[in-house]
Chain A
Amino acid sequence: MTRYLGEFEYAVLLALLRCGEPAAGVDIHDEILGTTGRDTSIPAVYVTLSRMAEKGYVRVARGKPTDERGGRNKKRYQLTAAGTRALMRSRDLFARLWEGVELSPQRGD
């Protein structure tokens, strides 16, 4: 059965992609905040990352130690091939639904 991403999962994976190299939860959180202005909670990000790790969309990768983390080598997350495919599926789903749709704020009244 084809599985599609949930809304927040979509956002997290995309943000992870934008971050580039393996990123931690706080990085994803800041990326979402900076790009969209949406203030998420870091624990929620991690819960989502755990869930997607179970599904195989992300994998844990040890990143390079930085001064920020007190020099410790900590857990980062990285997109897998399955994750990339899931992202593409969801993108296509919404793109096709949006095709030919005109939307204005007054619509629906």
Chain B
Amino acid sequence: MTPPKLAQLLLHLCLPRSIRAQVLEDLAVGFGRRVGRNGMWLARRWYWSQSVRSLAPRVQLRRLRDFAHVRAAVAFDAAYAVRSLRRAPGFTTTVLVILTAGVGVCTALVTVAEHTILRPPPYPEPDRLYLLRESHEAQGIRDERTSPENFLDWRARSESFGGIASWRPMPLIVYGPERGEFVNAARVTRDYFDVLAWDAAVGRVFTDEDFAAAWYDSAEDYIGGGPLRGVISHALWVRQFGSHASVLGTTVGTELGPVEIIGVMPAGFRPPLSIAEIFLPVEFRDDGVGRNSRFIDVIARLRTDRTYDQAVAELDAISTHLAAAYPGPNAGWSIRAFALQEYEVADDRAALAVLFGAVGCLLLIAALNIAGMQLARWTMRARETALRRALGASRLRIGQQLVVENVILFALGGVLGFFGSIPILRVLLAMSPQWDSTVDRATPNPAVFGLAVAVIALIGLVAALIPAFRVSGEHGTMAVSRGGRWAGPGPAVLRRAFIVGEIAVTLVLLVAAGLLARSVLEVQRVDPGFDPSRVAVLRMFLDKDRFGWSSGYGGSPRAYYARLTEHLEDLPFVEAAGGIQALPMLPANTIDFARPYWRPDEIRPGGDSRLADVRLITPGYFDAVGMHMVSGREFDNSDDPTRPEVIIVNESLAKSLFPEETAVGQALMIDYRGVRSVQIVGVVNDVRFYRLSQTARPELYLPHAQVPYRALSVAVRVSTDPRRVLPDLREAVLQLDPLQPVQEALTLDALVERSEAERRAQAWVVGSIAAAAVFLAGTAIYGILAYMVAERRRAIGVRMALGARAQQVGMSVLVESVRLAAAGAVLGLLFCVPLLLAVRAHLFAISAWDARTFATSGLTLFVIAALAGLIPAYRAAQTDPAEIMRTD
């Protein structure tokens, strides 16, 4: 017959202490009376009702106290806290620096993440948008564009998607008053703007009638029937047309012919995975270049009454049908739907994950560091605390003062950290090119910095409360008599634990930084197979109208490029020049030019099981980029359309196809623009074409004269710094033909660097964080050793008086330091396991368990520990025993 226990607990927690005992007792009495009168159930109900209502008195009692009294107390505490912080400038400055750095970095990183990973694409219901790509499991292709014919089939057969549209980027030459300029354009199909659910801000987007005068992309034919209509971006409107509404109806001259502007997109519109500023309508035909030409992007919007799984099942059925109907190009290929939201940020996510991990470690270290310092500080103030206790201050009062001081400290640190994150943000943005699309104007996120401060503050506060709490307890007076320092084992053990934790996390950071740095070095040591120094690259995209397939104006692309390379080689500083249809290291490289090849005595390999990359080059290309022939000869002017078709293969292909014999002189079958038989006239060395970290693939080089192509990149080897001559090269091209500009001019060095820029940035950031961690750990070790030495002065003095030598005393301090480092290292090894699993994917040519990196990191820790211990060891060794005996 006892009252409900849970209710009793609630009362115990909620009642003010002054009336708690009395109330509990009375309630028990009342409960007993009611059990007798009304029965158990009603009595329990009454008890619960009383318990719930007991929440009120706490608030009431507080109102009893004079609020002004509380306010005065807080104001006093604040002033006291400021004085006390100013009296300990070392402590205060250090904590503020740590807070600024830790909070600043964390806030900056999360801000970047917000604008890249976490930013939703600017389309209505973006979670219903999917990128449709093709994959081929047997070949390890996971994410490839598709061909126009396949796209047409998908669009016709799919019912799960409300709209399927495609786009393809192209650089477009727009004719200005005196010369041509490149503008990024995109050729889009009918439903493009519907699928994205955006309408024009000025004018309109495409309607069906606009596609009557569209292009048939595959066959490069223009249907005719009126000028092309175009929709432009907001940025282009502002830049070229002064934001005038009169842009509607204006006609712009382009290489495709006149284009009439019919609409301007709003400023917030951003085409997916594209930087196009002008959109042109395109239609596809069923009998175009062949389903093997995979070069268009497809986006689709899932219907609201269908699920993702339903759509995937349907796509599987479609791809099965296509593989059966067209086994040559489609066997083995399947369709994959990528959520647009995730696709856009997939690369960023991987990179940022590593950074987040590192920053998390830094925050942890910062928190531990501050906690240790708090512990030390409040332990030292044991005497002061005990005195106040003795004079009548309640624990609550002392705790209040401690909280106020910490609030001031962390608030200040937080504000500094917030402002500190701005320059850090700038630095981060400068380092990683792919992030800066819209992140330029990013400002630090207040919520994040609040969180970071809160985390550190919480840990720091707890660390300060522990010694204060213990000291203000019964042992308070004993602390006073012990000379002001808390001599118990508690805080020291705790502080050591913090430091060991810090060292462990530091080891993890050091290992991570070491591995990433080694990866960068390894990548740089890779021989790409070509010599990128002193090579300028001119990306050309010939005007379609004037350099079409049929010889029109000055001839075809073959004539133009022949003249261009000749013209360039005439320049005094040019050593060699040659064109290729796809530059190494260029991020836009697709495997669109992957084609099957086989020996004449073999059956053609099924599907796409054996592919080589086709490269179209002009003579002089190998010289320009520093490749060399292994056997046979290069292309020369004799390889023209009237002669038999020739080919140069790279070493890998030669060795795999002709292991026992020389490849030169052999015949080869390839399927590029039709099946053809070619003769191998030379073997060239392998190159790392896509990334330094990716090994060479089999390559087929065809002479441009026999297989012309409109968009070549001309590599120019120069005798001086290529960056300085880029303007001259641009001018030279325009001299040849004022209406044919260079699309982009850069150096090959820059391209190679760009391809590994992210890896370098990552290593740099993690390295900096590791350096900061080492610094913090070192100061922490120094701090505790200095404290220890100061505390044990007497004991040391006695030891020395009893005969211990100065060196011995000093060594014992150093030993202590090394012991801390060792404990931390062992713990750190444990922490390394999850780290290494995470970092593995980002490494190159180095194992995650690389012994050298571990050894170096461990050694660094020990060195730092030893250095940190030097001064305290010296001070300990300098102790004068006589003086100790005198003063104590």
Whether A47 pairs with B30 at a CB distance below 8 angstroms is: no
Q: Taking the nearest CB of chain B, how far is it from the CB of A73, in angstroms?
A: 12
| Chain A minimum-CB-distance residue to B64 | A51
Whether A29 pairs with B54 at a CB distance below 8 angstroms is: no
**A-B interface contact total, Cβ < 8 Å:** 62
Residues of chain A within 8 A of B32, CB atoms compared: 68
Question: Would A26 and B30 be within 8 Å (CB), given that A50-B18, A74-B22 are in contact?
Answer: yes
Whether A44 pairs with B30 at a CB distance below 8 angstroms is: no
What per-residue 1/0 map shows which CB atoms of B21-43 lie under 8 Å from chain A? Answer: 01101110110110000000000
Interface residues of B (CB under 8 A from A): 15-16, 18-19, 22-23, 25-27, 29-30, 32-33, 49-50, 53-54, 56-57, 60-61, 64
Q: Taking the nearest CB of chain B, how far is it from the CB of A53, in angstroms?
A: 10
Instruction: Judge whether A17 is part of the interface by a CB distance below 8 angstroms.
Output: no
CA A43 to CA B18, docked complex, whole Å: 11
Which of these, B22, B56, B64, contacts A41 with CB under 8 Å? B56
CA A63 to CA B185, docked complex, whole Å: 96
Instruction: Judge whether A10 is part of the interface by a CB distance below 8 angstroms.
Output: no
Whether A44 pairs with B29 at a CB distance below 8 angstroms is: no
Q: Taking the nearest CB of chain A, how far is it from the CB of B845, in angstroms?
A: 73
CA A24 to CA B27, docked complex, whole Å: 11
Residues of chain B within 8 A of A75, CB atoms compared: 22
Instruction: Judge whether A30 is part of the interface by a CB distance below 8 angstroms.
Output: yes
Whether A43 pairs with B50 at a CB distance below 8 angstroms is: yes
CA A32 to CA B23, docked complex, whole Å: 17
Question: Would A26 and B29 be within 8 Å (CB), given that A41-B50, A41-B56, A47-B57 are in contact?
Answer: yes
CA A42 to CA B26, docked complex, whole Å: 8
CA A30 to CA B56, docked complex, whole Å: 20
Whether A43 pairs with B25 at a CB distance below 8 angstroms is: no
CA A26 to CA B27, docked complex, whole Å: 7
CA A75 to CA B22, docked complex, whole Å: 8
CA A24 to CA B60, docked complex, whole Å: 20
Whether A43 pairs with B56 at a CB distance below 8 angstroms is: yes
Whether A43 pairs with B54 at a CB distance below 8 angstroms is: yes
Which of these, B19, B29, B30, B53, contacts A46 with CB under 8 Å? B19
| Interface of A, helix, strand, loop or mixed by DSSP | helix
CA A43 to CA B79, docked complex, whole Å: 38
Question: Interface size for chain A: under 10, 10 to 19, 20 to 34, or 35 or more residues?
Answer: 10 to 19
Given contacts A25-B22, A26-B27, A30-B30, 4 further A-B contacts (CB under 8 A): A25-B23, A43-B57, A44-B53, A50-B19
Residues of A60-109 at the interface with B, using a CB-CB cut-off of 8 Å, are: 68-69, 74-75
CA A39 to CA B53, docked complex, whole Å: 11
CA A33 to CA B64, docked complex, whole Å: 26
CA A44 to CA B52, docked complex, whole Å: 12
Which of A24, A42, A68 counts the most chain B CB atoms within 10 A?
Answer: A42
User: What are some 10 contacts across the A-B interface (CB < 8 A)?
Assistant: A29-B26, A42-B26, A42-B30, A42-B50, A43-B15, A43-B23, A43-B50, A43-B53, A43-B56, A74-B25
Which of these, B25, B33, B57, B64, contacts A44 with CB under 8 Å? B57
CA A106 to CA B758, docked complex, whole Å: 83
Residues of A2-34 at the interface with B, using a CB-CB cut-off of 8 Å, are: 24-26, 29-30
Residues of chain B within 8 A of A41, CB atoms compared: 49-50, 53-54, 56-57
Residues of chain A within 8 A of B64, CB atoms compared: 50-51
Which of A47, A50, A51 counts the most chain B CB atoms within 10 A?
Answer: A47
